A and B are shown apart, each in its own frame.
Chain A
Amino acid sequence: MWKTLQQIAVTGIVTEPAPAADPGLKLRDALQERILGIMGRALCIRAVDAGSCNGCELEIHALNNPVYNLEGLGIRFVASPRHADLLLVTGPVARSMEAALLATWEATPEPRLVVAIGDCGCTGGVFGESYASCGRVSNVIPVDVAVPGCPPSPVRIMAGILAAITPGADARHGPTPSGLAERAP
């Protein structure tokens, strides 16, 4: 016990300041500012891997480490879509995950937000569309914010999540969905 306490004291607080919301990642404004004002203070996220290579999951995990400390902002991951305000979706959507993703989305109470993570979530990435892949997340459910990167860094993912819930972060300044599609390989 002494060693544990000593280690905690020696480590100290390593949390860094959160990045600003990046409105450039926003695809649409689904929610009124009044609602965002309420949600932004205590947001619950359900992560859904719809077919990723697991690279994005590694960086989503990092959001909970002491350096990024997402929970310190009042944002936490929950175990059920019924408790969630926002779905964080990775991957191209594998065809065998399409039904599960739709069911998860339908189980999330409205108003619900969707943030697509990674090049594959934004465009289908290297996997594209095929007999086994539906491609980008917005081919299956409506997407509010898309964060490209392979994988995107925790800071970029945070900037995307914050863009979805920060009042005044206006999608009109950001790229259109078709603008993102041009990134496809």
Chain B
Amino acid sequence: MVAHVWFEQASPLAGAPGVAALEVDADSWSRVALDVAATAGRLVAFWAEARPAGGSWLRATYAAEPGVLVASLALPPGEREYHGLHEVFPAAARMQRAVADLSGPEARGGDRRGWLRHAAWPTGFLPLVDAGEPAPPAAAVTDNYPFVRVTGDGVHEIAVGPVHAGIIEPGHFRFSVVGEKVLRLEERLGYVHKGIERRLAGRLLGDGHRLAARVSGDSAVAFSWAYCQALEGIAGTALPPRAAWLRALALELERLANHLGDLGALGNDAGFAFGLAQFSRLKESLLRLTERVFTQRYLMDFVVPGGVAVDAAAGAEAAIDGFMATLAAEVMRLRQVYDEHAGLRDRFSGAGLVTPDLARRLGLTGLAGRASGQAFDLRIDLPCHPYDELRPVKAAASEGDVEARVAVRFDEVAESCRLVRDIIARLPEGPHRVEPACPPEGAMGIGLIEGWRGPVLVSLTAGPDGTVRRCHPHDPSWHNWPVLEHAVVDNIVPDFPLINKSFNLSYSGHDL
């Protein structure tokens, strides 16, 4: 059977276009996964929700022809185990461990080590199920995580983190090396778990976007838009056209800011400080433009339910248009400098290789996926308004090394400059915000937005009196962190910062 047969049985879900929901039994649960994999589909997210009647819903979201499918399996009270998806989709392994830590259900045959729970709260306390707060530990505690040991002649370990030697988020990397060569990397994340999902539950629906925007600060627009898309979907609120276009403008500005920052940092990590100076100067100008137009350098509270918080400043169109023309020209000039720099080419080329075949099997997604032949971009493949009219051009490469991830960023910067100018030229008139309606209790919606790093998903279920019953924000970093472990094998340790930066994954967005 192929995936579209399941889509035919599914019913449409509110929020992002092309999303359908299907309740399945234990047998179909595994068959859906196999069929999606057989039709070159991908796992988008996996999470659990407590059922009001007891037990849990397990929800697996897939992207496959012809859209996105949310398959839900009901787990009755008392039943703790289910058939894991990790054998079909390796990326599911860590999501399953997170579900076990936060909600209880455990995957049969899966890795039983804790993932997001370290030692900060007691075993047996399930943050997304149990009421009340456990007593905090008397003193700061750490646990003893059983890393996989590599043994043999000359093998030694390098332990890095959680506090890193730079301005970076915390996480732990355990390298097993021989001389300079990396034999194995094992990541340990979860250090910045700060209880976002539990804090979202019970919050007012009209306020949840503020927390969603702070799931990963570098993707604030993507997450707050995905949250609002889900909310507006279940509330039946029609977004004013101007608001949709302004959101797209903000999303492209966010993409540009992050790409410019990364292009500079990648030059710097390869010893080319000129790149950092130039690109961080351009990024600073872009942030100042963003502040002039929307009053904030980083648009943390810009996307709100029913529209956007502020309209573009008067006369902004001409300023944005002129800026984008200059930016595109400057970046093109710098791209030439990067391309012609022998030292950079030497460090970029072949480093951190992820072949298209490996990328497909492991489910590499987003920007990094597009550099390894996984040409998927929600803005093109499942466009929400106004991307259906904007018709962006997809960046694609198949070499899968640092150089390819740099090239995809350059291509996307050029395309985003073009999109921003296009948006400005076609910006519809009208209100930028409407009052959203209150959705019925139990209604569920999905938001899906292509952030700068990759597809961002927010699942939202309404509770009573305009509150959140359950909200699950999902960052593409969940899929790409495990692939980084593969990308670094056989590279030398000093290339790790460069390879890591070329993925630039979120810790906060993953740890929640």
Contact = CB atoms under 8 A, between A and B. Distances in A.
A8 B284 CA distance: 17
A131 B196 CA distance: 11
A121 interface: no
B491 interface: no
Given A96-B193, A130-B195, A67 B167 contact: no
B333 A3 contact: yes
For the residues of B in contact with A, the DSSP-based class is loop
Given A53-B214, A61-B261, A79-B165, A97 B192 contact: yes
B120 A60 contact: no
A184 to B, nearest CB: 14
Nearest to B341: A4
Interface string B119-148: 111000101000001101100111000000
A92 B194 contact: yes
Interface string B91-128: 00000000000000000000000000011110001010
Contacts of B295: none
Nearest to A135: B194
A100 B170 contact: yes
Interface string A43-87: 000011111111111111110111100000000010111000000
B141 A99 contact: yes
Interface residues of B, number: 61
A14 to B, nearest CB: 6
B216 A8 contact: no
Contact of B133 (A8, A11, A62, A130): A130
A102 interface: yes
A166 interface: no
Nearest to B300: A150
B162 A97 contact: yes
A126 B214 contact: yes
Contacts of A77: 166-167
A143 B162 CA distance: 21
Contact of B142 (A61, A67, A99): A99
Interface in B270-284: 274, 277-278, 280-281, 283-284
Contact of A132 (B193, B278, B281, B340): B193
B281 A14 contact: yes
Given A55-B300, A58-B261, A130-B194, A96 B217 contact: no
A144 B337 CA distance: 44
A4 to B, nearest CB: 6
A8 B287 CA distance: 22
A95 interface: yes
A67 B282 CA distance: 10
Contact of A151 (B125, B169, B298, B511): B298
Nearest to A50: B170
B284 A104 contact: no
A138 interface: no
Given A11-B281, A65-B284, A94-B191, A52 B508 contact: yes
B208 to A, nearest CB: 10
Interface string A2-33: 01100110010010000000000000000000
B486 interface: no
Contacts of B151: none
A18 B340 CA distance: 36
B291 to A, nearest CB: 9
B163 A104 contact: yes
Contacts of B278: 7, 11
Given A7-B333, A55-B214, A100-B162, A133 B298 contact: no
Nearest to B257: A58
Interface of A: 3-4, 7-8, 11, 14, 47-62, 64-67, 77, 79-81, 91-92, 94-104, 125-128, 130-134, 140, 150-151, 153
- Top 8 A-B residue pairs of the complex, sorted by shortest distance between their CB atoms: A55-B217, A95-B120, A132-B195, A79-B165, A65-B280, A99-B140, A53-B217, A98-B140
19 contacts: A7-B274, A8-B274, A54-B169, A55-B214, A57-B167, A61-B167, A61-B261, A62-B284, A65-B277, A66-B281, A91-B194, A94-B194, A97-B191, A103-B163, A126-B210, A130-B198, A132-B121, A132-B194, A150-B301
Given A61-B167, A66-B277, 13 more contacts: A3-B336, A8-B274, A55-B217, A55-B298, A55-B300, A57-B167, A62-B280, A77-B167, A94-B120, A94-B193, A96-B119, A131-B125, A151-B217
